[in-house]
Amino acid sequence: MPDLNLLHTLDVLLSEGSVVRSADKLRLSPSAMSRALARLRQVTGDPLLVRAGRGLVPTPRADAMRGQVRRLVEEAQAVLRPTGALDLLSLSRTFTLRASDGIAETFGAAMTREVQMQAPQVQLRFLRKLDKDSRGLRDGSIDLETGVVDETIGPEVRSQALFEDRYVGVVRPDHPLGGRAVTSADYTSWGHVVAWRPGLDLGGVDDHLRERGLGRQVAATVDGFAAALALARGSDLIATVPEIHTAGLRSGLHTFPVPLPLKPFTVSLFWHPRLDADPAHRWLRGLVRQQCAR
């Protein structure tokens, strides 16, 4: 009868693609992990992972079995997980939330207060989201994540809408654009600070401007909305940022509708299906949705 413990080992190896990283995750020595890989190769009759340059790449057989192995491991974990009523007062756990820029600043304080009221031994750990890689949800290092659903999200990842947002223009309170309706000519006559990084959707501002034969002068680029607003606060530059995302960052600044037909977008909550039935995770998902709805 095959050793079913090898399934978990195989799942980690296929996820990490490295004997050393897999050994570290399973708290084994690299030599023990190499022996486990050799055993898996013997059992399956396939090399599974082969060397390519300095790394390892999966064989076609390994790629084909990856999803099935993951499901089997998750089902086994669900079968063995204890059930029972959730006692929030005695729950001691750290949850990691990887959040889009501005989410922690806008909703984090209310979330933390509510968590401390309901489950005083629970700690929230906020991580800034700098890319759309959902690997952290798969490997368990991230419990929840916020963002916009697109093709880069893994097909197995669960999602639920939190709120609809839109892009707005922001300037310092005594800016000449304050206190009046801003036209597209106004919008393009001043310099801009743009929050940009790979994978960040900027709402198609420049595409809409080009359609109208207009363009904007980008004086500075930064890697997040908080930095863009900081530059706008201390200069004549316009920052274009999501309205609800940045509500906690725009205090004291003047906000105006962008004079372009920008489409609103939906911000969603993401998690891995292995945590669907986890009572503590279900409670946290509900709490995050409740706070974002407010």
**Cα 102 from chain centre:** 12
| Percent of the chain whose predicted confidence (pLDDT) is above 90 | 49
Q: What is the mean pLDDT of the chain?
A: 88
Could you read off the pLDDT of 18-73 as tens digits, one per residue? Answer: 888 888 888 889 898 899 899 989 988 999 889 887 778 889 998 888 888 888 88
Q: pTM for this one?
A: 0.67
Q: Where are the domains of the chain?
A: 5-80, 93-160+269-293, 167-263
Check: CB of residue 178 under 8 Å from CB of residue 170: no
d(CA 204, CA 108): 28
In 240-261, which positions are buried (b, 16+ CB within 10 angstroms) versus exposed (e)? bbbbbbbebbbeebbebebbbe
Could you read off the pLDDT of 74-116 as tens digits, one per residue? Answer: 777 766 766 667 899 999 999 999 988 789 889 999 999 999 9
Q: Given 3.30.43.10, 2.60.370.10, 3.40.50.150, 1.10.10.10, which CATH number is that of 5-80?
A: 1.10.10.10
CATH code for the part of the protein at 93-160+269-293:
3.40.190.10
Where does residue 237 rank: exposed (0-12), middle (13-18), buried (19+ CB within 10 A)? buried
- When mean pLDDT is compared across 51-60, 81-90, 178-187, 264-273, the lowest value belongs to 81-90
Residue range 8-22: mean pLDDT, rounded? 88
pLDDT higher than 90, residue 188: yes
Tokens 């669907």 label which residue?
276
CATH class label, 167-263? alpha beta
pLDDT higher than 70, residue 199: no
Confidence at residue 81, expressed as pLDDT on a 0 to 100 scale: 63
| One fold for 5-80 and 167-263 | no
